[in-house]
Structure 1
Amino acid sequence: MRIPQIQMESQQARIAIQTVPGRQSIQQPQADLQIEQPQADLKMRTTPGKLTIDQSQAWEEMNLKSTFKAIKENAVKGSQKVMEGIARVAQEGNEMIEIQNGQNAYVEQAKRQANPPMPEVNITWVPSPFAVKTHYQPGGVDIQFQPRKPRIDATIRKPIMNYSPGDVQIQLAQRNHLKIDLVK
């Protein structure tokens, strides 16, 4: 004997999905930009430095004096030598008066004139150190600066945007069904 059997046949439902993607485009036009930079105001004033050099002492030490100064110094020296000569002659006259006291004035005077004292010798630098005098007065610089701000004109442009929305279509591609058979 055969036992009846139940046969079931099923089919699942299937769906079909179709998509159209969305599209977006963005364009950004460049802005109009104008920049102008005015020149700054700059004023400069300089005072030159001043250098003074005094060489008069060095020239005098090298015996290169002005005519008037040389005449004046030589007149003073000449007057001094004349006075020294008068004093010497007066002293020699006084020594000769003393001859009666038994002194031999002629011999003493002859010895002095024949053997004068040695002149002093000394090494010196001509001209002496620091004989040239210098003085420097530094100059100056006065700077006045006035900056100017730049002028900026900017025209902003809005972006251009295009958007196409996407689409999704859903359909039933296959229906579900269930078939039941009884097989004997």
Structure 2
Amino acid sequence: MNLRIQTQDAQIGIQQGIGDLYISQNHHFLQIQTLYPEIYIQQEDPVLLIDQSQCFSEAGLKSNQELSRQFAAKGRQNALRAIAKIADEGNAMADIQNGVVIGRLAKNKMKAQEKQFAFDMIPKSRPEMRFQKGETHIRYQKGDIKTHVPPNPVNIHYNTRDVKVYLKQKNYIQIDYVGKKVDLYGG
């Protein structure tokens, strides 16, 4: 028997629009507190102390006090020398057994005294130097930054669109007999 069978599947159609998505959020506020770092520097400069008083004294550049002391000592020495000379002359005149002494004393006073000259380099002593070192003291305060961001909610809204479901194609079965003979008895 020759049969021809044709079938067709059903098809469903779906029609849907694109939904709308809305997202909104207010601006964030950033709060910042700043504590700036600080540095404190205290500095004592180094000092070089130079004492040249001995060098100046040797060169003849003396202070008033030193000149007073020197002249007082020289005056005292000259006075003692003069006293000793006068005492010696008096003692010589008192010794009459030695003869006439006055002529000899006068002759000794008339002698020219020799002057001595010398060449020398000054100053002979070095200046005294003392060094006081300086110091640097450093203190600091650390800085700090504090931040705060308060939470801010996000608003989300979604609008859906309609969804349409429909039968796009119906299903069916079709059976046809394509033969030339028909058996009516079925047996």
Q: Tell me the TM-score range normalised by the shorter chain.
A: 0.5 to 0.7
Structure 1 unaligned residues grouped into runs of 5+: 94-112
Work out which of the residue numbers 7, 11, 31 in structure 1 matches 2:8. Answer: 11
Which 10-residue stretch deviates more, 152-161 or 60-69?
152-161
> Which residue of the other structure, out of 151, 155, 159, is the alignment partner of 1:164?
159
Tell me if 1:133 matches 2:133.
no
| Structure 2 residue matching 1:32: 3-state secondary structure | coil
How many pairs align?
154
Structure 1 CA distance, aligned partners of 2:33 and 2:80?
91
Tell me the TM-score normalized by structure 2.
0.54
**Contact 1:21–1:167 (8 Å) recurs in 2:** no
Q: After TM superposition, give the deviation of residue 174 of structure 1 in Å.
A: 0.9
Unaligned runs of at least 5 residues, structure 2: 93-111, 181-187
Q: CA separation in 2, counterparts of 1:159 and 1:178?
A: 56
Q: Once superposed, what is the RMSD of the aligned Cα atoms?
A: 4.5
Letter in 1 for 2:154: P
In the other structure, the counterpart of 2:29 is 32
Name the CA shift for 1:35/1:56 in 2 (closer, same or farther; >3 Å).
Answer: same
TM-score (norm 1): 0.54
SS for the counterpart of 2:60 is: coil
Paired position in structure 1 for 2:54: 57
- In structure 2, what is the equivalent of residue 97 of structure 1? none
Counterpart AA for 1:59: F
> Over residues 46-74 of structure 1, what are the superposed CA-to-partner deviations in whole Å (9 max), with x where a residue is unaligned?
57558454332232232211233123224
Shift of 1:16: 1.5
How far the C-alpha of 1:6 sits from its partner, in A, is 1.8
Q: Which amino acid aligns with 1:6?
A: L
